[in-house]
Structure 1
Amino acid sequence: AASACGYVLGAELRACGVDFSFTPVLDLDWGPSTVIGDRAFHADPRVVAVLARCVMQGLLRAGMRNCGKHFPGHGFVAADSHTHLPRDARGLKTILADDAAPYGWLGTVMDAVMVAHVVYPKVDARPAGYSARWLQAVLRGRLGFGGAVFTDDLSMAAARHIEGRTVGLDEAVLAALGAGCDVALVCNQSLDGGRVLDDAIEALARAQVTGAWTPAAASEARRLALLPAHDAPDWDTLMRSPDYLRALALVP
């Protein structure tokens, strides 16, 4: 059923012209987190990893890459990072043994990772998406992950605080890219002609000119690797596909 869900999700989205989905959720179901809630597969990281792998295989069958989220784990904290800055007081050893374990186990089949807007003060004072320790020392170094790294939405309240300071979107984007993210997501900011987005792009251009930020060829390659390798069938063709109909019958 999990593999069928991944295939149906990926196939339907691609038939609608959407080529990427931030799926699957790898957070553990510890209980108190309402923002993760039933998006979590299970409380046991082993079960999460098995089901997530099946979803990933289904997505790949539909020609879509996958993205595990929210590294290193958002399920333990009760606060919603859309509106507050969550803090997880556990140590690195505990997090690696539980919440982050699926990222290590799935490293060979995981194409991308989305990082949590959560502070883990025993590891770094910065939210994980702005932390070179989390992204480069732990995710890249210790866990050996080689795919693309996304921020979560930088419009969220938790993303606008770095070490006790409130930061603007331009500083948030530069901090995320500087820490090791390949893609900075800015969602729900198209009002007023998208001026907020224009300002962030201009800040990037200035940073490149002054040498404060340099685009990386490896980062560009990781982004391009997420694009579909083949065209998708249109919606009417998909609806007549025996593979799709068999998978749809297995979806709960």
Structure 2
Amino acid sequence: MTLHRPLIIDVAGLELTAADRRRLAHPLVGGMILFKRNWQDRAQLQQLCAAIKAVRADLLICVDHEGGRVQRFQTDGFTHLPPMRALGQRWPQDGNGRQALQALELASAAGYVLGSELRACGVDFSFTPVLDLDWTQDDASRSSVIGDRSLGRDPGVVALLAKSLAQGLQQAGMAHCGKHFPGHGFVQADSHTDIPVDPRPLAAILQDDAAPYGWLAPQLASVMPAHVIYPEVDSRPAGFSRIWLQDVLRAQLGFDGAIFSDDLSMEGARRLDGQSISYTDAALAALQAGCDLALLCNQSLGDGQALDGLLDGLAQAQAQARWQPSAASEERRQALLPRSPATPWAALPQQRAYQWARQQLARL
């Protein structure tokens, strides 16, 4: 039987319940995502991560930890990371000279601190960097959900800074994820609560918002598509579109890493082809379109029926041959797991690379 663990789920609290352990042990679960509700302090986080790994050592422990307003852990010694816009603002307008080098150093430092601190607590992976362009620089009415999470408006600058940030993460032993392909910055609507539509043609998107993905494709470990509809390309959101994921991202741009769906509980993922769909159908649509991993967040709260329904539904779809596991997808998932031991938290202040990175960030 082909092994493929495509589901990334969540847990409700500060420690695992029996239901959490049962779900994490399910053969279709490949990892989990942490939120602020899973955080009390570093000791508690380390214990929670250790308990998750005790269920199965190859579970990928993920978090959205970008910096700025999207940083899940901010106390008990965690460095307050700047929003990505702060890095982009350090890029000189002429793009040359020592200021450009300093901006790249700051991005690398941010990646190293981010990755080192998370790994010291047992977290494997963060969904960063954001590759969306900051269109608010041209039009203040553009995407507020992206805003200062973006490295900038210029796709070349975004790509260079993101590459440096990813190199910092890699130095800390952490893989990375470019998001939200092919670009969420142009649309005003928030896909958490709405279904955004970007009316531009494919050529315009590839020339601008999607350009960083083409330039960075050989280096990107993973990509997360947007819950945005680009009707000139496909009637389905990018995360459910074979055109975007297979024809454009893989075939045209040459990306060969892992593809995560964005959160399937978001409003932008709950309607497909004009119809409301279940979490199981959303996961199937994402996997059939070309996602390797399907992410469902915040459904462990309460009785967790939605999570159990997804686990049962995908298992049934597999038994009925409505979904075929992919060995290549599983290989991509496992490639995101850390390959080197983490530096313990107590040893970080004595580590020269960490000292240098903290000093760089102190300049912001």
Query: Under a length normalisation based on structure 2, what TM-score does the superposition of the two structures give?
Result: 0.69
Q: Whole-Å Cα distance in 2 between the matches of residues 144 and 132 of structure 1?
A: 15
Cross-structure match for 1:29: 134
* Structure 1: tracts of 5 or more residues without a match: none
- Mapped pair 1:198 → 2:285: no
**Alignment partner, residue 274 of structure 2:** 164
In the alignment, which of 271, 279, 287 is matched to residue 177 of structure 1?
287
Alpha-carbon displacement from aligned partner over 1:4-43 (angstroms, at most 9, x marks no partner): 0000000011011111000100000101110000000010
Q: Deviation above 6 Å: which 4+ runs of structure 1?
A: none
* Structure 2 letter corresponding to 1:169: Y
Does the aligned pair in 1 maintain the 2:218–2:254 contact within 8 Å? no
Aligned to 1:108: 218
1:115-172 deviations in Å (ceiling 9; x for gaps) = 1000000100001100011000000110010000001111111110111111111110
Q: CA deviation at 1:193?
A: 3.2
**In structure 1, distance between residues paired with 2:203 and 2:309:** 40
Give, as a single letter, the amino acid of the residue that structure 1 aligns with 2:194. H
How far did residue 175 of structure 1 move? Answer: 0.5
Higher relative contact order by CA 8 Å / sep ≥ 6: 1 or 2? 1
Does the residue aligned with 2:193 lie in a helix, a strand or coil?
coil
Separation (CA, whole Å) in 1 of partners of 2:307 and 2:290: 21
Equivalent residues in 2 for 1:65-76, closer than 5 Å: 65-76=175-186
Alignment of 1:6 with 2:111, yes or no, is: yes
Question: Deviation at 1:245?
Answer: 1.1
Q: Distance in 1 between matches of 2:303 and 2:336?
A: 28
CA RMSD of aligned residues (A): 0.7
CA shift, 1:187, in A, is: 0.8
1:85 aligns with 2:179: no
Report which of the two structures shows the higher radius of gyration computed on alpha carbons. 2
Counterparts of 2:295 and 2:191, CA distance in 1:
15
> Aligned partners of 1:56, 1:73: CA distance in 2, in Å?
18
Give the Cα–Cα distance (whole angstroms) in 2 for the partners of residues 169 and 241 of structure 1: 44
Structure 2 unaligned residues grouped into runs of 5+: 1-105, 137-141
Work out the number of aligned pairs and report it.
252
- Distance (Å, rounded) in 2 between the aligned partners of 1:234 and 1:54: 24
Listed one character per residue, the Cα deviations across residues 180-205 of structure 1 (whole Å, up to 9, x for unaligned) are: 00110111111233221111011111
Structure 2 Cα separation of the partners of residues 135 and 77 of structure 1: 20
Q: Matches of 2:254 and 2:352 in 1, distance apart?
A: 38
Shift of 1:230: 1.0
